[in-house]
Structure 1
Amino acid sequence: MPTEKFCKDSLVVKTSRIFPIDTNNHNSLFGGKLMSYIDDVASISASRHSRSNVVTASTDSVDFLMPIRPTDSVCLESYVTHTGRSSMEVFVKVVAENLKTGERKLAATSFLTFVALDEEGKPTKIPQIVPQSAEEHMLFNTAEQRVKVRKDRREHSKAFAKVVKTDAPWI
């Protein structure tokens, strides 16, 4: 396995048409449907980078910037932007394209973290990422800030989990 890979080696592009069944009561793409698309393409990027099984460790954010309408197609682009020993940060860019006018707008962005697993389901070492384009360098250079926020949030979640009740509230 190589010790380094380029961001572009993990690039995944998925384009879908928006149908009425995919929309909510605001006549825009249902957020849960978009989130499913995001996790799908991001997991493929992580698998391409690591060439191993992967598991979603976290979804940092899904920032919905504009509605995606039934007159649009939705194009998702994902690639690995940062790596740890076995973890990968994946950026997903969501572009809505009006199919009549050709106008394209950034509709959403998302960052997810995946962990590469070996055949026994244990975290496994992965190649380091090498950015090339201006966008890749910007995301790579700002990744450490996101990693810190992610670690802090995880510690908060662990502490929170010790307090949250899991028994049935109706009993």
Structure 2
Amino acid sequence: MSDDRNIRAVSESQAERNEIIFPADANPLGNLFGGKLMQFIDLVGAVAAGRHARAYTVTASMDHLDFVGPVRVGELLILRASVNRAFRTSMEVGVKAMVEDILSGQYRHVASAYLTYVAVDMTGKSVEVPQLVPETEHQKRRFEDAGKRRELNSVEVKRKKELRASLAPDWYV
């Protein structure tokens, strides 16, 4: 998009991952384990975040995850990730998971998630990330929505931090 290292378009960092689901990744009903789907979501999200930051990234939170439908053994899972918004050192990444019926070409939505990644250097210290330029109307909506989610989350993060500080160091409190 630009030679300016401090600005990147959404399209410059989008990532996709495809997985055929095998029995070892499934529960007794033949459905993909939710934790395995979370792993795939985190991995594809990290690729998008790393591409945007041009740095190593660490997962700060999985802010929201909706399991919409099952992924069955033998199905083709397609995960697409896109940076929704960049802040100073963190980025919100949206991931959408679909199943493709290879025979019909039909897609079925199975999960969506929002994750926050922080860019870090080799010592683990956070580093600034380029700003994000949304290009399409859809990207602009996601950009605005990410800002609203961040505002809402900051209140909850503060509340949890205060709660943790007030609790005794007993795990069973």
Cα distance, 1:163 vs structure 2 = 4.3
| Equivalent residue for 1:134, pick from 132, 137, 141 | 137
* Structure 2 match to 1:96: 99
Aligned residues: 169
RMSD of aligned C-alpha atoms?
1.7
Equivalent residue number for residue 76 of structure 1: 79
Tell me which residue corresponds to 1:8: 11
Provide TM-score, normalisation by structure 1.
Answer: 0.90
Which amino acid is the alignment partner of residue 48 of structure 1?
Answer: R
How much has 1:81 moved relative to structure 2? Answer: 0.9
CA 104–158 in structure 1, closer or farther in 2 if over 3 Å, else same: same
Q: Secondary structure at the match of 1:112?
A: strand
1:118 aligns with 2:124: no
The gaps in structure 2 that reach 5 residues or longer are none
Between 1:39-48 and 1:96-105, the stretch displaced more is: 96-105
Residue 40 of structure 1 is matched in structure 2 by 43
Name 1:62's counterpart in structure 2.
65
Query: What is the Cα deviation at residue 35 of structure 1?
Result: 0.3
Deviating more after overlay: 151-160 vs 42-51 = 151-160
In the TM superposition, what is the alpha-carbon distance from 1:25 to its structure 2 partner?
Answer: 3.0
Distance 1:31 1:12 in 2: 21
1:155 to 153, 158, 161: 158
**What TM-score results when the alignment is normalised by the length of structure 2?**
0.89
Q: CA deviation at 1:165?
A: 4.7
1:39 Cα deviation after fit = 0.7
CA contact (8 A) 1:71 1:100 kept: no
Percent identity over the alignment? 34
